[in-house]
Each structure stands twice: as C-alpha cells, then as structure tokens.
Amino acid sequence: RPAILAAALAFCGDVAVLSHRTAAEEWGLLPIDPLAPVHVTVPFGLSTRGQPATFATAQPRDVRLPHYGEMLHPGVIVHRSRAHPYIAVPTMPPRTSTADTAIDLATAEPTVQDGYSALVRIVTNGRIPLSEVRRRMHERKPYRYRRTLEDAAGLLASGVQSMLEFRYATDVERRHGLPSADRQTPVVVDGRTLYEDCTYDTHGAALTVRLDGRRFHAMAEVAFRDRRRDNAAELVGRSRLVYGYDEVVRDPCGVAAEVEAVLVRLGWRRRSPSECSCAADVPFWRP
C-alpha cells in the first residue's frame, strides 16, 4: 500500500496530497479498501487528470509479478481545491487534516441526507474535535450541502456523541415533533458524576431517555453504573425509558409514541405537528 500511495502522489506532482476516502483510511476513520482508487487533491487550476486502474498484461520469466489480469494499481481520482494550501498536514505521506477529510467526504455524498449522516458518523466515530470542524467549515465553506452540514455541526454541538444519538434526535424527536432533549446531562450517583443521554426537565417533564449502545453498555462496569443510575432515578421519582439501536432505527415511530406518551403524562403538550405520516391525524396543542 505505501508504494501504491506514493505512485499516486508522484503521478499528480509534488503539491498533491491524499484526500477524501484515502485520507480517511490513512487516519483510521474508515477501513482500508485495497480495490478503491486513490483520492488525491491538487490546487485548483492544475491540469492533472485521473488515472484508471492498471492491470498486469504479461508475465516475464524469472520476474515475480501479479498474474495476468491482476490489478497492479487501483487508479487515481483527482480533486481540485482553492483551499489546497490550508487543508494539508505534514504527515508522511501528506494528507488532508481530519476535519477537512470529514467535510470532503460529506460533500462527496450523493444526497444531502447522506452528507448529513456522513459528517455526524465520521466526526463522532473518529472523535474529531467539533471546534476544529466548525472552524474549518467557517474558513472554507462547503460548496455542497452547506446549510445542512452546518445544521449537522449544530446537532453535534448540542451533545450528540454517536450515530445512535443522531438517529434518535433526527428520526424520533425532529420527525415526530417532539421537544429537543438536553443531552449529556450530568447526574451524581454514588458520589460520581455520570451523564444521561437525554433529559426533558427543561420542557417540564422529569423524563430520562437512555440510548443503550450494546457494545459499550454490555461492559460489566458500565452495566453496573446503569443499574445504579436506574435505582437513583427511581428513588427521586424520575421516569426513564431505554432504547437500543435496533428500536430507534427500525421503529422510530414506535419509540416516538412511547416517549410522547410519557411526556404527556408528565405534563408536556404538543406545540408543533409531526412531520411523519404515522402521526398525521394526531392533533397538536396550541397555547
């Protein structure tokens, strides 16, 4: 792989840097796909063109080469950027920064919704500092999906820290006209400060919604903390609901109905209609 990347950069010239999916692979943000073309960014106006994949066409004697038809190089996709001098970091080989890589991948998605999801997923999974992403979006405004990506960054700033929390915020709360929860709310349990995923106290409802990512919450220590949080909530009379990825992704309407039922029981009243067809006939309250 180092030789493949070096060949792509040499083909595009001294100013070329790895970008998009290739940079994400080098940063560990995405798994390496050996069959995917190498993405390279060069300054705007440069005449460098992309290169298709190269395959072996002969097998000389006594020379160890791939078999006939086997891929020698996956090819090169060239991108051009007016912000080229500001997006690279001095790594070996040179590549775009993590924040710029996340923005590039989001703007390369085929739809605005895919771009929205990609930015949230890459930033949260890669633990890229949100302050750096927002700074770069301000300095080099995305040429596609600008408002949507700014909205995604705002959602991350509100405390969304995983794809599960993102899907809950968009598919359950926003789509169904539910209030936006306070996220990562600190609570003290057994003398330790822990953080709840979603609370609705500012909307007049003492409700906690915990989003249970199986891989993390299955750990023995975390499971013990969750039980202690449940007990502490029960002792102070808090309502609580727990959902995993499957419920939120496969049945957001059912999750929204349960959350709304508890919110209404605790005194919350709907002020905006649901955008989802599952609740088209549900009346909403106006002051």
Is the separation of the CB atoms in 39 and 56 below 8 Å? no
pLDDT digits (tens, 9 = 90+) for 190-222: 777 878 889 999 999 999 999 886 544 444 455
Looking at residue 64, its pLDDT comes to: 60
Q: Are 107 and 89 spatial neighbours (Cβ–Cβ below 8 Å)?
A: no
Tens-digit pLDDT string for the chain (287 aa): 999 999 999 999 999 999 999 999 999 999 999 999 999 999 988 888 899 998 877 665 665 655 556 888 999 999 999 888 889 898 999 999 999 999 999 999 999 888 988 998 899 889 899 899 999 998 888 888 999 899 889 888 888 878 888 889 999 999 999 999 999 888 887 777 878 889 999 999 999 999 886 544 444 455 666 677 777 777 788 899 999 889 999 999 999 999 999 999 999 998 877 888 775 444 444 44
Instruction: Count CB neighbours of 6 within 10 A.
Output: 13
Q: What pLDDT, on a 0 to 100 scale, did the predictor assign at position 95?
A: 96
- Quick one: pLDDT at residue 172? 94
CB 164 within 8 A of CB 264: no
Q: Give pLDDT, residue 223.
A: 60
Contact 72, 66 (CB under 8 A): yes
Interhelix angle 112-125/98-107, nearest 10 degrees: 160
Q: Which CATH number fits domain 163-279: 3.40.50.2000, 3.40.960.10, 3.40.50.300, 3.40.50.620?
A: 3.40.960.10
Token pair for residue 108?
A: 């390369």
Q: Where are the domains of the chain?
A: 1-95, 97-157, 163-279
> What's the confidence (pLDDT) of residue 20?
96
pLDDT for 176 equals 93
pTM over 0.75: no
Residue 268 near residue 205 (C-beta atoms within 8 A): yes
- Bridge-partner residues for 73, per DSSP? 54
Of 124, 25, 115, the residue nearest 74 (C-alpha): 25
CA atoms within 13 A on the CB side of 238: 20
DSSP 90-111: --SS-EE-HHHHHHHHHHTSSS
Cis peptide, bond prior to residue 93, ω within 30 of zero: yes
Condensed to tens digits (0 to 9), the pLDDT of residues 138-153 reads 888 888 899 989 988 9
